[in-house]
């Protein structure tokens, strides 16, 4: 292919990809808008609180998707960073008397700083070694939240007097922010930096050999992901009257990981489905403490064992064929033979004659 035609082909393919993303973004915006309208129309504080929790969990799941889905960096400390953003925002907004915008900036910057401090010493770790290091970081943060009474209120927690409980306005803002983050991550995937990140995920040695700065990109991803998680902590203080260390434990970090795995590999829909399933389950089992954790644990085992692609990667037709092959092997073989025969007949009808090929 000539260079000019090759460049034109690449541009047309890129424009098609972006067009598909824009269409998917429009569908996602419409779905979240419909969710907002249905929630407001119910006039129920319980429904509003549930959807607010869904928005918060979507941000946390998106922050982990950025690390796990782009650079294969597992993290079990998202809840800890979530807590850092929450406590910093309360400190700045209520104790220092700063405006809400400054509290948001302070929370996001605190999360970014945590990401930098976390990524620098752990940038050489991979796979389960990295997961164990993030587990240790989560335990350290949870202990700090519990025992730093002067900053966090200790086990008694902190009151957020400026919170807007069950506020329709805050619900709209939270869903809009969640949507914006997912749109940004979707378009990042097809950008130049996104392609570099995906190459890094596949093979770091290969990515480094073609000039990609692997170490710098890994650090940047952690900084941005932690900033998103800390921003979610700020949103928590604006929608909840009280925060305590129990909101930011290892259980919450595991729940974020489960939501990502449960949702599946789809960056946009996998995040929304995982966060939605978890939020709905927690809301429906609120009268039975611990039941949601048990159900999520069982669901995780089933998903990892039988559907590693998550809920958005389910293939019912493939499962049906597998079940038929187990129950009725003769039927499965007959169906396979018929399919092969139809394929041969189709190829005979569409294939050109030998003399035509010779011409």
Question: Domain containing 291 — which CATH number?
Answer: 1.10.3470
In this structure, are 254 and 334 located in the same domain?
no
**How many Cβ atoms from other residues are within 10 Å of residue 60's Cβ?**
28
In this structure, are 52 and 193 located in the same domain?
yes
What are the φ and ψ backbone dihedral angles of 97, each rounded to 5 degrees?
Answer: 70, 25
In this structure, are 236 and 348 located in the same domain?
no
Asked if 155 and 245 count as a contact pair (C-beta separation under 8 A), the reply is yes
In the prediction, which pLDDT does 357 show? 35
In the prediction, which pLDDT does 289 show? 80
Query: What is the Cβ-side half-sphere exposure of residue 24, based on CA atoms within 13 angstroms?
Result: 18
How far apart are alpha carbons 113 and 117 in whole angstroms?
Answer: 6
Low-confidence ranges of the chain (pLDDT < 70): 1-18, 315-359
In this structure, are 238 and 217 located in the same domain?
yes
* In the block, residue with structure tokens 């993303």: 21
In the prediction, which pLDDT does 333 show? 55
DSSP letters, 53-106, are: HHHHHHHHHHHHHHHHHHH----S-HHHHHHHHHHHHHIIIIIS---HHHHHHH
Nearest partner of 90 among 226, 233, 224, judged by Cα: 233
In this structure, are 289 and 340 located in the same domain?
no
How far apart are alpha carbons 184 and 101 in whole angstroms?
Answer: 21
Nearest partner of 260 among 25, 66, 21, judged by Cα: 66
How far apart are alpha carbons 132 and 81 in whole angstroms?
Answer: 16
**pTM of the prediction?**
0.82
In this structure, are 12 and 65 located in the same domain?
yes
Question: In the predicted model, what is the mean pLDDT of the chain?
Answer: 82
In the prediction, which pLDDT does 350 show? 44
Domain that holds residue 139: 3-313
In this structure, are 202 and 114 located in the same domain?
yes
* DSSP letter assigned to residue 353: P
Q: 243 - beta bridge partners?
A: 158
In this structure, are 322 and 298 located in the same domain?
no
């Amino acid at each position: 292919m000539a260079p000019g035609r090759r460049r034109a082909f690449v541009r047309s393919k890129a424009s098609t990809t972006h067009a598909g993303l824009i269409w998917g973004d429009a569908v996602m915006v419409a779905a979240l808008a419909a969710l907002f309208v249905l929630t407001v129309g119910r006039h129920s504080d319980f429904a509003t609180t549930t959807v607010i929790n869904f928005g918060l969990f979507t941000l946390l799941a998106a922050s982990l998707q950025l690390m796990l889905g782009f650079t294969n960096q597992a993290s079990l400390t998202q809840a800890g960073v979530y807590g850092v953003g929450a406590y910093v925002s309360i400190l700045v907004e209520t104790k220092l008397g700063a405006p809400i915008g400054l509290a948001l900036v302070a929370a996001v910057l605190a999360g970014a700083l945590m990401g930098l401090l976390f990524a620098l010493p752990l940038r050489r770790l991979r796979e389960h070694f990295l997961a164990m290091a993030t587990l240790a970081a989560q335990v350290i943060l949870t202990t700090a939240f519990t025992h730093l009474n002067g900053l966090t209120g200790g086990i008694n927690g902190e009151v957020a007097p400026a919170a807007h409980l069950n506020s329709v306005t805050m619900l709209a803002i939270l869903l809009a922010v969640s949507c914006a983050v997912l749109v940004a991550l979707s378009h990042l995937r097809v950008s130049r930096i996104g392609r570099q990140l995906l190459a890094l995920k596949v093979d770091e040695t290969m990515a480094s050999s073609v000039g990609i700065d692997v170490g710098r990109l890994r650090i940047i991803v952690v900084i941005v992901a932690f900033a998103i998680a800390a921003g979610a902590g700020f949103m928590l203080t604006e929608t909840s009257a009280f925060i305590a260390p129990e909101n930011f434990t290892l259980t919450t970090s595991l729940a974020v990981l489960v939501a990502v795995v449960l949702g599946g590999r789809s960056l946009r829909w996998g995040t929304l489905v995982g966060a939605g399933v978890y939020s709905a389950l927690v809301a429906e089992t609120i009268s039975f403490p611990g039941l949601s954790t048990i159900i999520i644990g069982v669901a995780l085992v089933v998903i990892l064992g039988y559907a590693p692609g998550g809920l958005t990667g389910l293939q019912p037709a493939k499962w049906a064929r597998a079940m038929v092959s187990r129950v009725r092997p003769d039927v499965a073989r007959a169906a396979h033979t018929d399919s092969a025969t139809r394929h041969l007949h189709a190829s005979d009808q569409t294939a050109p004659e030998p003399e035509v090929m010779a011409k």
